[in-house]
Every structure is written in structure tokens, then in C-alpha cells.
Structure 1
Amino acid sequence: MAAAPVVAAEVVTRQVADSAEFTGTLAAVQSVELRPRVGGYVDSVRFAEGGLVTAGQVLFQLDSRTFEAVLDRARADLRQAEERRTLAEKRFERGEKLVAEQAISQGDFDVLTAERAESRARVESAKAAVRGAEVDLQDTRVRAPVSGRVGRALVTQGNLVSGGALLTTIVSVEPFYVYFDVDEATYLRFAGTTSGARGKDGRVNAVPVRVALTGDEGFPREARLDFLDNQVVAGTGTARARAVLPNPDGKLTAGLFARVRLETGAARPTVLIQDLAVGTDQKGRYVLVVRPDQTLEQRRVELGTTEGGLRVVRSGLAAGEKVVLKGLARPGMAVAPTLVAMADSEHAEGARP
């Protein structure tokens, strides 16, 4: 019987770190609900909804006339208190001379002393009132506390708002957090300072994390592990983890779904193959290995994650072995393999084994 033609490739061996994959969501590092400290009518809205704003930028202007009047009155009260203090100081100075000459009694001099102290306290109180009025006036200009992307205006010009009313929201845009839940085995890998995964302060080290969003091939985005929660949730057997993901092009936003690959061990030689080399039956996954005598052997394999477009083989294959990628073949058949590069085999023609 003639040997069956098949397309085969030698397995690829690379240095690949042990890793685990999880699902997560993106969240802004800073998220602010913008609320005014004072109330009043909205004079103007000074931002483009959905646009970028900078920290300190005025977003809402409230009617300031009432607060300007309060500030003017506070300043007038301060001037009045300062004049009274001046008068009390002069009366005290005269009283010092008179009590020394025994022209007035000690009781009268004690009254002058108390009046001077009271006048000084009134000045300080008036100064505090001025500062409070200045703060209230400044707060009629509602500013962005952080830089980021602003949401829609929840109130518009002419509306009366009270102190604490929600005006809009702001989320930072660079970088982003990626929150995901890890299993107990992964959590234990990073538990304790003796594992080398945590620093002397107890925080997790900045382990590399790969992130993929909807539509991404592989895991093209690089992040760093930033936080691991202090407990495992008994009901789910998971712990919350967080990575920091840069957003240089500004395309990311909070709430996006993400796939996360977390390195859980050191890099070691690892066998990788194309997914199209893998077959499936009732017993699980397998590959067809080309023996030195050009016959086929069915080999059960345990697969892992993908790495650079290839599938990690955790067990079942060794470096240098050749597997069938395409062709009509079955275990024990004699074959005439056409060898191609594993990474380029996706362009070969034929059927899967």
C-alpha cells in the first residue's frame, strides 16, 4: 500500500514562562463624582461633554453674587474689628501708665486688659470669616479635581443645585487598572515573602502581565501586576488581583472586558505546536506523531495557553518530534510527510488529522 501524503512539522521549542489565564475588566485609576460644595443657580457649563479635561479646569460656574456680598460683609466686619482692636490697644496703653501712677484701680485696668484680649479675638474671628467667605466664593467655580475624560452634564444652565448634588463624572485615562480574580493555586504562588513574589513590604512584585481586549489576537498588551487582595473569598475560591495597563493611544475606557495572562513561574524550555495539529476524540486531545519509520503514532497531549500563535504542550511531546498537521491519516499508517515550518503551517493545504 502506498504511503499517504501528509503535511508535517517539527515541534517548536522555546523558553516560555508558566502562566495562567483569567478574565477581567478595566477600571479607571481615578474616578470622581463631581459635586459642588455650595449651592446656587448654574450660570454656565464650560466643557465639552465626553471630552478631556485637566485638573483645575472650571467645568461649572454657579451664581456668585450672594457669595460676593457675604465676602464684602465679612471684610467690612474685619475692618470694624481691627478698628476696635486699635482702640482697645490704645486704651490699654493709657491704662498701663495710669495704674502705675495709681490713677485708676487694678479692677479698671483688668477690664482694659480683657477688652484688649477680646478685641484681638474678634479680629481673628473676622479673619476666619473672610477666609470662609473667600472659599465659598471660589467654590462657585466648580473645577475638575483630576485630569481625565468627563461624562455628560447632569444639570444645565439655569438650574438650581444644592451643595453635594451630582453634576458630572470624570475618569482618568492613563493608565488603567485591570481587575481579575485568581484561583487559590495562583494566589498561593504569590503568598508570603519567602516565595520571592513579594517584596519586603509584603506587596506583590511587578510581575509581567499580558492583556488582550476584544478583537486582539494573542495577548499584545503589556501590563504589570500591582495588587493582590489580602484574602480568598470562600464562596468562589478566588482572590482579587489588579494590574496596571498603559493607555498611550487613549483608546481604552473603563468597563471593557479583558483577557489576562499572568506569569506564575520562571521561563523553561517548552514544546509548542499549531492548534490544527490537535485532534479530539472521546478520550480527549491527541496528535499524530511521525515515527522514524514513517508510520504514525497517536499521542495523548495536555495543552496549555497560546504563545506567539502556537499552543503550549504541557505533556505528551518532546523536542525534535514531528507531528501531522494536515492530511487524511490514522494511527499506524505509513506516510510520506512533507515537512513545513510549524509557524508557517497555517498556510498549508489539506484536511486536519
Structure 2
Amino acid sequence: MTSTRTRIAALSLLSAFWLAGCDSKGAEQSAPPAPEVSVSEVQQQTVSQWDNFNGRVEAVQSVQLRPRVTGYIDKVNYTEGQEVKKGDVLFTIDDRTYRAELERAQADLASARTQAQLARSESGRTEKLIGSQAISREVWEQRRSASTQAQANVLAAQAAVDMARLNLDFTQVTAPIDGRASRAMITSGNLVTAGDSSSVLTTLVSLNTVYVYFDVDEATFLRYQRMSREGESAATAHHALPVKIGLVGEQGYPHEGKVDFTDNQLTSSTGTIRMRALLDNSQRLYTPGLFARVQLPGRADFTALLVNDKAVLTDQDRKYVWVLDAQNKAQRRDIQPGELANGLRIVQHGLQSDDRVIVDGVQKVFMPGMPVNAKTVPMAPASL
């Protein structure tokens, strides 16, 4: 009986050892392989840092076309929305009244000239008679005064002719600038009144160049002043600063211009100052009123460390990356990121120039010290 129990105990012990060995071998076989990740060396480049603002495109010249004489619109001579040249006749006002006024003024001028000629002749005759005392001095002075008055009447009549001719010219409403005309606000057959603020015929905007207006906060404005004083910027009083412009739907800032105006005071309610950039619009890329993204150089060129933006992760209020150590193990490194430059993220603190950063497969790394199977790839912008 005792020997039977001994044999059973021995068999149980052997079974336990055998099962334990099987479990150990299974655990070794089920250990996961190191995840595959892509790593890139931190890039050290000379970069320019830009400040970002929002602005609006505005026309360099914008003209509300109003009538300068009263009358009925006889004809609209342009296609709404088309580009026009300076001097093109856009509206014609009924000119019959003004032609008649010009003819009457010309007749008055002819009459005044005749009267002046007669008065001049009479004054000349009295000049000869006064010497021989054939007439009184009073008569001589009256004739001379009449001649002078007649000459003044000629000048007044000439001015009336000039005004009548000018009013006749004003019946041809012409474009004062090159640009694009808006829709006709008043059409044929309608009465317009000179000097009436409501009688806007149309609006013209110039297109060859455009402005982009944007507001700069006080701190940034003071930084630009310091840059100008210390020679970090080639601009004088912020003029001629290079700007980059991007429109809605465009990638980045593909257009370039120059700052040509900075206001003379800040707006106290907003703490901002108005600045303006001038852009070439020969290709008609810009329409007044468009929203524009604006970049200004924020500081002089400097050397910075850059990484692919995909490598930067967030842990509550901290930013970090996974860095490979000498044993190909991932180590967490907290960083202080900056702006984007050349498509990469500037790292202000936390990395060295020889660090290798995981850029693809970051979601496979769960904890510091985790081994990885790293493949080296070039450090490229996240968009590429």
C-alpha cells in the first residue's frame, strides 16, 4: 500500500515538472517580435521663422462712379463685370439740353465780342477828341469804362461757353482708371442727379496691383522695431519687409510681396497696428475682398534642429518623441516644439543633432526601453 502511494506521488511530481517545462517553452515561443519602425536622424538646418496673420485683399484704387450732370441715362456702354480702360465711355446721359446750352453760350459770346469791339472803337475815338477838348473828360471816362466792361463781358461769356462745353462732356461718363467695372446700378431711362449720393452708376476697382491689409499685435510690432534697430532686418521702419501670401485652398504661402505701409498709431481697443503689403496682380490671381493668410519674417535666420511633425506626440500638456538608444531601444524624450520651417517642426529644447527619432510606427511603442526593429529613412516633411 505504501509503495503504491509512493509511486503515485512520484508520478505526480514528474507530471508537474513536465507541465512546467511545457509552459516555459510555450512562453518563450509566444514572446512577440520587436515592432518594425522607421527612424530618421534629427536635421540641423538654417531656417527663417515667420509670423502668421490674417488679412484681406483690397484694391489699390476703388472708384464709385457718379454723374456730374443731371439727366436721363441714355445708354449703358459696357458689359457688367468686364475690365475697362481709363477713358472708356461707360454711360451716356441725354445731352440735348447741354448741347442747346452750349450753343446759347456760344451765341452770347459772339454778341459780347461784338459789343466789346464797338465799345473799343468808341473809346478809341474819344481818345482823339479829348486831346482837342472836343468832348468832356466825363464822356471820355464813360466810353473807356464801357469798353472795359465789354471786355469783362467777353470773359464771362467765354467762361459760360467753357462751362457749357464741360457739362456736355460730362454727359459721357468715362472710366477714371483702368480696372474692372461692377454691375450697372442705374440703367437706361433712369434720371440721375449731379451731386446726389444715391446716384452711384457703378464701381470700378484697379487690378494690376492689390493691397493686403492685416493687423499686427503690439508685442510683434515692438519686436519688428527692435529687429530694425539692431540690424536683424533689412527693412526700414518695417517698409519693404518681405511677405508671403496664401489664399483659401492653397497649400502653404506660394505668393510673395512687400510691406509698403505701416500705420502711425495702434488701435487702443484691439492693441494692434494696421500694416499693408503690395502684391503684383498681373495674372489676376487676387480679387478685392478675398481672405488672405500672411507671413512676415519673425526673426533673422538661425540654426535649428528639425524633425518630422509626425514624430511629435502629446501626453496631456507635454510634447515628446521616441528616440533610439545604442541598443535600438525606444526612449521617451520630452521636447519643446516651435514653429514649422521647411515643412519640418523646429525643436527648441530636448534633442541633440545626432539623435535618431522614430517617425513611422510610433503607435507600436508602448513604453520606454522597448526594443524595436528600426529602418532608417530620410527626414522628410510630413506632407511628402
TM-score, structure 2 as length reference: 0.84
Alignment of 1:199-278 (within 5 A): 203-278=237-312
Alignment CA distance shift 1:156-1:129 (3 Å): same
Greater helix proportion = 2
Alignment CA distance shift 1:77-1:288 (3 Å): same
Alignment CA distance shift 1:287-1:199 (3 Å): closer
Structural RMSD (CA): 2.1
Residue 342 of structure 1 corresponds to which residue in structure 2?
379
Alignment CA distance shift 1:117-1:45 (3 Å): same
1:344 Cα offset (Å): 6.5
Residue 114 of structure 1 corresponds to which residue in structure 2?
145
Pair 1:154-2:154 in alignment:
no
Alignment of 1:274-313 (within 5 A): 274-313=308-347
Amino acid of the residue matched to residue 89 of structure 2?
V
Residue 157 of structure 2 corresponds to which residue in structure 1?
126
Alignment CA distance shift 1:198-1:79 (3 Å): farther
Amino acid of the residue matched to residue 141 of structure 2?
D
The CA distance in 2 between the partners of 1:123 and 1:166, in whole Å, is 37
Residue 108 of structure 2 corresponds to which residue in structure 1?
77
- Stretches of structure 2 that go unaligned for 5 or more consecutive residues are 1-30
1:215 Cα offset (Å): 0.9
Alignment CA distance shift 1:32-1:134 (3 Å): same
Which has the larger Rg? 2
1:291 Cα offset (Å): 3.2
Amino acid of the residue matched to residue 130 of structure 2?
V
1:21 Cα offset (Å): 0.5
The CA distance in 2 between the partners of 1:281 and 1:109, in whole Å, is 109
1:346 Cα offset (Å): 5.5
Q: 1:194 aligned to 216, 220, 229, which one?
A: 229
Residue 350 of structure 1 corresponds to which residue in structure 2?
none
Amino acid of the residue matched to residue 30 of structure 1?
Q
1:277 Cα offset (Å): 1.3
Indicate if the aligned counterparts of 1:190 and 1:198 stay in contact, CA closer than 8 A.
no
1:311 Cα offset (Å): 2.7
Amino acid of the residue matched to residue 104 of structure 1?
I
Please state whether the residue corresponding to 1:61 is helix, strand or coil. strand
Residue 46 of structure 2 corresponds to which residue in structure 1?
15
Indicate if the aligned counterparts of 2:309 and 2:382 stay in contact, CA closer than 8 A.
no
Residue 11 of structure 2 corresponds to which residue in structure 1?
none
Residue 51 of structure 1 corresponds to which residue in structure 2?
82
The CA distance in 2 between the partners of 1:14 and 1:212, in whole Å, is 24
1:83 Cα offset (Å): 1.0
1:273 Cα offset (Å): 2.5
Amino acid of the residue matched to residue 129 of structure 2?
L
The CA distance in 2 between the partners of 1:199 and 1:86, in whole Å, is 68
1:53 Cα offset (Å): 0.8
The CA distance in 2 between the partners of 1:208 and 1:145, in whole Å, is 31
Please state whether the residue corresponding to 2:114 is helix, strand or coil. helix
Alignment CA distance shift 1:312-1:28 (3 Å): farther
Q: Deviations over 1:295-337 (max 9, x none)?
A: 3333333333333332333443343432211111143323332
1:79 Cα offset (Å): 1.0
Indicate if the aligned counterparts of 1:218 and 1:307 stay in contact, CA closer than 8 A.
no
Q: Deviations over 1:229-288 (max 9, x none)?
A: 222222222111111122232131111111111112211122332221111121232222
Indicate if the aligned counterparts of 1:296 and 1:331 stay in contact, CA closer than 8 A.
yes
Alignment CA distance shift 1:117-1:290 (3 Å): farther
Q: Deviations over 1:7-28 (max 9, x none)?
A: 1112333322232111111111
1:94 Cα offset (Å): 0.9
Pair 1:141-2:175 in alignment:
no
TM-score, structure 1 as length reference: 0.91
Q: Deviations over 1:109-153 (max 9, x none)?
A: 111221111111111111111111111111101111111111111
Identity of aligned residues (%): 42
